[in-house]
Chains A and B, each alone.
Chain A
Amino acid sequence: DTGVSQDPRHKITKRGQNVTFRCDPISEHNRLYWYRQTLGQGPEFLTYFQNEAQLEKSRLLSDRFSAERPKGSFSTLEIQRTEQGDSAMYLCASSLALPLKGPYEQYFGPGTRLTVT
């Protein structure tokens, strides 16, 4: 078990460019979450997947954001036409959700720090 991994760890981009981040969850975990964390704040929920299905999206997730988990394993988060306000740490977490066995511990990856110049 290598834990949750994220790539890249750092990304610097110019305003208006598109960026894509990848998350590889713990292998047997069926749930995958994306959070955003700005400096000095706690993580804020963006969206989550149960296997390949995206089941919930936060109001924070504007139309410029899209997430996928095509085979129920890794996930990608794409931000189109980046803005300076998108600068943040993007965190991925995963959990193993079994019927009637909640609540489920979430394990976080190291995050991708995005800087939009």
Chain B
Amino acid sequence: QSALTQPRSVSGSPGQSVTISCTGTSSDVGGYNYVSWYQQHPGKAPKLMIYDVSKRPSGVPDRFSGSKSGNTASLTISGLQAEDEADYYCCSYAGSYTFWVFGGGTKLTVL
């Protein structure tokens, strides 16, 4: 069982918006503004999409946005495109003993 809880799957039609949640505790998500999100296509390595809760690396479309409230972080993808279909993982810093923890992953299906 992963440290952070994500929905197993979400879906949306092209052009719509979807939000993926990532729930932790006050020891990880709630305790630090260090949540990152990764996109993983089948057979590929994860790719950084969001860091420090809401910052986007250069090259990541602004359709991807992140936020956090309490112990839950969220990734929102607006204007869904077919290429967004992938698995998404959240990751949070969890202190100088546990360091980093991942979520269980969410499969995004573009209908």
Q: Do the two chains belong together in a single complex?
A: no
Chain A residues in contact with chain B, CB under 8 A? Answer: none
